[in-house]
Structure 1
Amino acid sequence: MIIKCCNMYNIILLLKIYMPFTNKKKIKWIFFKVFANLNFAICILFFILFFSMLGSVIEQHQSLAYYQELYPVQSTFINFNWKAITFLGLDNIYESWWFLIILMILSCSLITCTFSVQLPSLRYARRWKFINRDIYTQPKVSFTEGTFVNKSMVNIVHCLNNKGYYCFSRQNKVYAYKGLIGRIAPIIVHISLILILIGATIGFTSGFIVQEMIPIGEVFHLKNILGSGFNNVAPIYLTFRIDDFYLNYNVDRSIKQFFSKLSYINDDGNKKVYPAIFVNSPLILKGMTFYQTDWQMNALRIQLDSSCTIQYKLNKVQIGKSIFWICRFPLEKTNHIFIIISSFNDSIYIYDSLGKFISVASLRQKVYVGEACFRVKEIMSSTGIQIKVDPGLSLVYLGFGFLIISTFISYISYSQLWFSISDNYCYLNGYTNRAVLYFEEELINIYHKYIENCM
């Protein structure tokens, strides 16, 4: 009997312990309390910063062979190798599912904090706060004066209104505040961070980057996709054409800027030409942004004896800060020459197989080497175009815009004043959340103005 009673007591004790966790309201309250906690949001933000830093250290979007070579498997106790990188998704951090979950958790934390803490705090700040005389002895009061003057409520309201305060009176008490908009700054910060996180998530999941190196006069499609989200739909059916490419030079013949003209060809074969793009001046077309990124010389078209035209590849060579393109052109079975070019508009230098200078020529000028005659008809080049789609970019810009606005709003001080008349004495005191010295000066000026009006 005693054993049965003990067992029953244990069951009742377990039920008492378990009952709070079965209460759905308490579970929801605990959930909201944790998510609304500032320390929790800072902890999540720390994880995001840590993995962002890790993504800067570990190269992203590389091939498996790259990670196998750079992070080999070793027989050590702590071995951070390519297997761990690929298994944890550290080669693609910003698009991985766990990183997106962390962003979602931070967004939920900010939303919960906004609705459960910030908005109620703003609502509370708008309430009338008439207080008793005991508040004057509390340390948070910035300034207090007691003086026997005429009992004039109109004068103090007039003085406070001139300073931009909103006044409320009841019996022999006045409550006033100003700078309520400064209390909105934390809410705007939360909204801006939420917009940035949502925009970044949309960009991770639905955006893509394409890099193409296209010869002049050729059509191209979006094929060479460097990175893309799992929810993107790349418009590979669209057709574009590079119409022209040219360079601008400085006085010292160094390259100043390079330009590309491209056009869009629709399904009917009609072509629409757009203004030239260059570095830091992209083209926005059909939700895609076209950037000018690079250029290169591909080959030379050489005409032999006014008859056939042959195409030979150019090889890029860099000596110090100077870049040259070299073509090895065979004249006979046992004889060849080197053609060297430094830019589109510069001269063409010709050397023999031993590196001896032969002559210098310009484009389309006939060159005689022994009994052979040829001329360089065309320098074939390609332009590097990067096409980027980021559907969440507008939300990111909007979020940063709100963040800038909140920075300026946060400098607005939220100030409160209390005025009361008791026992033939007038009491004036106040509180502010920032700029305490300026507020004390303002409070003293209000006090003296009130005394002056009452005399």
Structure 2
Amino acid sequence: MTPFLRLVGWIADLRLAIALLVLIAIASGVGTVIPQQESEGLYHQIYDPQPWLGVLPADRLLWLELDHVYSSHWFLALLSWLALSLLLCSWRRQWPALRAALRWVDYRTPRQLSKLTVAETLSSADALADLDRLDNRLRQQGWQVLRQHERLAARRGVLGRVGPLLVHAGLVVLMLGAAWGALGGRRAEQFLAPGRSLELVDSRGHSSLTLALDQFTITRDPAGRPEQFSSVLRLLRANGPTEEPEQAEVLKAATISVNHPLRFQGITLYQADWSLAAISLRLGNSPVLQLPLQSFPQLGDQIWGLVLPTRPDGSDPVLLSLTSEQGPVAVFGADGNRLGQIAIGGDPLEVNGLPMRVTSILPASGILLKRDPGVPLVYSGFGLALLGGGLSVLATRQLWAIAESGRLHVGGLCNRNLAAFARELPELVGGLSTAEADPGIREA
């Protein structure tokens, strides 16, 4: 055997394919544990004080590409290796097995049938007539029959031989889709306030669509915990940078919520999160001012606020903070002491001699945008693999019969569930002749 053929045999080894599947599963598990595609600063913040598994600080983790496992060079190499292994296995084993199953085998002597896994010999007063009856019975039950004068060959369930090939093809297509999505896909999360729009650009930087948010609602339980977020969206045709969203052509209008995304032209929009965008308030007799809010992670999770001066010269600042769009707004002085709280739309609070009234809070919808060109291939791969798995359950059965003077010899093969085929064979030949079965029959 040449070195090339030995290499091909090693790559097509089932044990190697199983080992690659285990490695890919472990790598996928690592990708779910470590945050993916975040900024380098986040990894230094998390893993420098406490390395992952006690041995991998941020620099080593980034060098190993564990911050983007599914698009890393080594993960794509594992997928390519497994795909090559499956292709070679199909070429060396499954394809020849399918060709062999489609090829008719002609057994000419009873001695050949006696060596088959399941065999039976019947005494018959008219063997040719019994062969004709067996031919008709097999055809009626869906068998394919190749008839000669004194013998026949029949088969059933040949489609099951296609199953392993389809499984391998489905896995290869699935891995191609996953690799294409990892290399050519895009993922971004944006916070959008009602009444505002976001321009979507393609991979070449050209504006393709405009996303407009008309309404965003947060459904809360009696305890005030958020249960569901919903966004009323419009996808508009981006005809020009100066065109107003109200004048653009509406391509799609839909409401998205958690677990109910919107898919359009290869883009999937998920309702992922929520935030607080702005606060509207009045200071004394001033008009309503809408001021942007920012997150304060140093104060805790989901705390927003702003620092607001209470004097024309910018002195005596206060901190306004809140945790939901329902309020209330807590007010803290420059020394950190709590000065009071303001109910949304309620009575004003006097802060440093200045009446302060909050009229409304503007929430923002956190929308996750994903463009994955490999999704059709992934779904097609899953479909092929499932179809192949279903077909693989079908047993391929082959049967031969030879008529000679006073005897009918029958034998068969089956690639799975041999016991059921051994029980089926007497039923197929039962009633063909009034004579008893030869005591010397062989049945396995």
Secondary structure of the residue aligned to 2:362 is strand
Q: Partners of 2:229 and 2:66 in 1: how far apart?
A: 36
Q: Partners of 1:440 and 1:166 in 2: how far apart?
A: 19
From 199, 203, 217, the equivalent of 2:177 is 199
**Residue 267 in 1 paired to residue 239 in 2?**
yes
Which structure 2 segments of 5+ residues have no match? 437-444
From 256, 260, 274, the equivalent of 1:277 is 256
Shift of 1:394: 0.4
Q: Partners of 1:297 and 1:48 in 2: how far apart?
A: 40
Greater Cα shift, 115-124 or 233-242? 233-242
- Equivalent residue number for residue 38 of structure 1: 14
**Residue 146 in 1 paired to residue 118 in 2?**
no
Name the CA shift for 1:369/1:285 in 2 (closer, same or farther; >3 Å): same
Secondary structure of the residue aligned to 2:78 is helix
| CA offset digits 1:105-156 (Å, max 9, x no partner) | 3222322333343222212112222234334554x61352433442122111
Secondary structure of the residue aligned to 1:186 is helix
| CA offset digits 1:377-419 (Å, max 9, x no partner) | 2212221111101101101001101122222212211111121
Name the CA shift for 1:203/1:352 in 2 (closer, same or farther; >3 Å): closer
Give the alignment of 1:126-137 within 5 angstroms: 126-131=102-107, 132-137=109-114
From 200, 209, 216, the equivalent of 2:187 is 209
From 58, 69, 76, the equivalent of 1:100 is 76
8 Å contact from structure 1 (residues 294, 383) kept in 2: yes
- Equivalent residue number for residue 425 of structure 1: 407
**Residue 245 in 1 paired to residue 226 in 2?**
no
RMSD of equivalent CA atoms: 4.0
Shift of 1:200: 0.9
Give the alignment of 1:24-423 within 5 angstroms: 29-65=5-41, 67=43, 80-131=56-107, 132-138=109-115, 141-151=117-127, 152=129, 153-221=131-199, 233=203, 235=205, 237-238=207-208, 239-250=210-221, 254-263=225-234, 264=236, 266-268=238-240, 269=243, 270-273=247-250, 274-310=253-289, 311=291, 313=293, 343-344=324-325, 346=326, 348=328, 361-363=343-345, 365-367=346-348, 369=350, 373-422=355-404
Q: Partners of 1:265 and 1:277 in 2: how far apart?
A: 19
For these two proteins, the number of residue pairs brought into alignment is: 415
8 Å contact from structure 1 (residues 222, 235) kept in 2: no
Secondary structure of the residue aligned to 2:86 is helix
8 Å contact from structure 2 (residues 83, 175) kept in 1: yes
Q: Partners of 2:310 and 2:350 in 1: how far apart?
A: 9
8 Å contact from structure 2 (residues 124, 434) kept in 1: no
Q: Partners of 1:36 and 1:433 in 2: how far apart?
A: 22
Q: Partners of 2:407 and 2:170 in 1: how far apart?
A: 48
Q: Partners of 2:24 and 2:397 in 1: how far apart?
A: 36
Q: Partners of 2:58 and 2:320 in 1: how far apart?
A: 45
Name the CA shift for 1:211/1:421 in 2 (closer, same or farther; >3 Å): same
8 Å contact from structure 2 (residues 113, 400) kept in 1: no
Greater Cα shift, 404-413 or 87-96? 87-96
Q: Partners of 1:319 and 1:135 in 2: how far apart?
A: 85
**Residue 440 in 1 paired to residue 422 in 2?**
yes
**Residue 450 in 1 paired to residue 432 in 2?**
yes
TM-score by length of 2: 0.77
Which structure 1 segments of 5+ residues have no match? 1-19, 21-25, 224-231
Shift of 1:204: 1.3
Greater Cα shift, 166-175 or 51-60? 51-60
Name the CA shift for 1:252/1:113 in 2 (closer, same or farther; >3 Å): same
| CA offset digits 1:145-197 (Å, max 9, x no partner) | 43344212211101222222111233422211101111110111011111101
8 Å contact from structure 1 (residues 166, 176) kept in 2: yes
8 Å contact from structure 2 (residues 261, 271) kept in 1: yes
Q: Identity rate of aligned residues, in percent?
A: 25
Name the CA shift for 1:73/1:136 in 2 (closer, same or farther; >3 Å): farther
Secondary structure of the residue aligned to 1:276 is strand
- Equivalent residue number for residue 442 of structure 2: none
TM-score by length of 1: 0.76
Name the CA shift for 1:447/1:89 in 2 (closer, same or farther; >3 Å): same
Shift of 1:46: 3.6
Q: Partners of 1:30 and 1:136 in 2: how far apart?
A: 37
Shift of 1:277: 1.9
More relative contact order, 1 or 2 (CA 8 Å, 6+ apart): 2
Q: Partners of 1:203 and 1:96 in 2: how far apart?
A: 12
Q: Partners of 1:317 and 1:87 in 2: how far apart?
A: 28
Shift of 1:79: 5.9
Shift of 1:99: 2.7
